[in-house]
Amino acid sequence: MDVGQMQRQWIDYTKSLFLEGFLDGQFLQLQQLQDENNPDFVVEVVSLFFEDSERLLKDLTFALNQNGVDFKKVDAHVHQLKGSSSSIGAQRVKNACIAFRNFCEEQNTDACLRCLQQVKQEYCLVKNKLETLFGLEQQIVAAGGSIPTELSFSG
Amino acid sequence: MILIDNDAWDKECLILYRIRKHRQNGIKVDPITLPKIFLLAAHPSTNEHDELKSVGIIDDILMKPLCLSSLVHSYRESVGTENKQVNRKKVSKLGSLLMHKQILVVDDNAVNRRVAKGFLQKYGAKVTSVESGMAALKMLKLPHNFDACFMDLQMPEMDGFEATRKIRRLEREVNEKIACGQASADMFGNICYWHIPILAMTADATQSSDEECRNCGMDDFVTKPFEEEQLYTAMARFF
């Protein structure tokens, strides 16, 4: 595959992530913040998100499996996860967190456990997608090309 | 806007030399942000005038005596009314507000801190980020060099409301001491009235009432993640 083909593949893959709702406009913002002064900004922020999320999901699993569930604590964790997913544009994770918080308010353990499953699923999906995207970027750079900066949605 | 009489221009005086140098250096900078310079001439444009205008040292030549409509017309032309100028203007606007400003970001979430920092740095601000209300208090011990503070509301141990209340108390104490002569302003960086703009960062507008924010001493709030226009509107009050 030549650089041009790789770049087109990157563009198509990125577009699909938006069309399928995995990412929203905030991710575009992150890409725009990347420049010569911050050349690895997106990867840096997304890596922070992965670390943060994995810790939170672990804490949530622990908290929901206690005998007396502390819903305030559970809600606090979900709030964090909602915030960080929103900051990077991980739309489906964010939406799953919003639903989760509603059940925390109702103090419904079973529903919360289901929500946790949902959030874990969405997290795994977006993690996979982003890792694939970064892999494509590495290939482009290794072949001497540069990551496209324009994504037109007209075509 | 600067209006210069043609006769004054021709005489080489220091101020005019500086203006010309500044303009020549500023050619590469976004022209939207430079003040408009108009030459007032008694006679119609000469070759020299046209040259000055085409190189961008002056924006236009106006006939003496000056009339309002030609001034307005030339000013509008120099500012540019095409739509495609609009976005560039907005970016420069926020950039001109935030350039070199020292900003403190307080948020317990590492991802949010990094994204907020990246956003503000893009517009030229110097950003320090801390992860708690306690850490914010340490940073804002007087005297400090910060121009503004973005404060997350929901944080463990000390939330944004409490941190802000404490900061305002510190400022009040110092301001009162200076006002009654117990302390002199030069002990506090030569500032005799301390009030750092504090803006709450909320995940959504309904999260907490405007009233609650103002009661504890906040100046305004912005939603996160940051949005250029909203940030500009909020920051324009202070800078």
Tokens 């007032």, residue located: B40
Query: Per the domain annotation, does B153 fall within a domain?
Result: yes
CB contact under 8 A, A83 and B122: no
Query: Per the domain annotation, does B52 fall within a domain?
Result: yes
**For residue B86, what pLDDT is reported?**
47
**For residue B84, what pLDDT is reported?**
43
Query: Per the domain annotation, does B77 fall within a domain?
Result: no
- Residue A40 φ then ψ, to 5°: -115, 25
**Are B165 and B133 contained in the same domain?**
yes
**Consecutive sets of 10 residues in chain B, 239 residues long: mean pLDDT of each?**
76 60 59 72 70 69 78 75 47 85 97 96 95 96 95 93 96 93 88 94 74 90 90 91
Query: Per the domain annotation, does B203 fall within a domain?
Result: yes
How many domains are there within chain B?
Answer: 2
Query: Per the domain annotation, does B83 fall within a domain?
Result: no
**Are B204 and B98 contained in the same domain?**
yes
**Are B95 and B31 contained in the same domain?**
no
**Are B61 and B130 contained in the same domain?**
no
Number of cross-chain residue pairs from A and B with Cβ atoms under 8 Å apart: 55
**For residue B67, what pLDDT is reported?**
76
As beta bridge partners, residue B129 has B105
**For residue A155, what pLDDT is reported?**
40
**For residue A80, what pLDDT is reported?**
94
CB contact under 8 A, A38 and B118: yes
Which region, left, alpha or beta, applies to residue A63 given φ > 0 means left and ψ of -120 to 50 means alpha? alpha
Residue from A47, A87, A95, A105 whose CB has the most chain B CBs within 10 Å, to mutate: A87
**Are B183 and B230 contained in the same domain?**
yes
What percent of chain A is predicted at pLDDT more than 70? 96
pLDDT digits (tens, 9 = 90+) for A23-75: 999 999 999 999 888 889 999 999 999 999 999 999 999 999 999 999 999 99
**Are B57 and B97 contained in the same domain?**
no
**Are B52 and B132 contained in the same domain?**
no
**For residue A46, what pLDDT is reported?**
98
Q: Nearest Cβ partner of A87 from B112, B122, B154?
A: B112
**Are B215 and B110 contained in the same domain?**
yes
How far is the C-alpha of B223 from the C-alpha of B211, rounded, in Å? 16
**Are B52 and B93 contained in the same domain?**
no
DSSP tag of B124: T
Q: What is the CATH number of the domain that holds B94?
A: 3.40.50.2300
- Please report the ipTM that was assigned to this predicted complex: 0.92
How far is the C-alpha of B68 from the C-alpha of B48, rounded, in Å? 25
pLDDT digits (tens, 9 = 90+) for A74-127: 999 999 999 999 999 999 999 999 999 999 999 999 999 999 999 999 999 999
CA dihedral sign, ordered B142, B144, B148, B154? negative
Name B143's Cβ contacts closer than 8 Å, sequence gap at least 6. Answer: B187, B188, B189, B191, B194
How far CA B17 is from CA of B13, B46, B52, in Å, comes to: 6, 20, 14
Single-letter amino acid code for the residue at B52:
L
- Domain of residue B128 covers 88-235
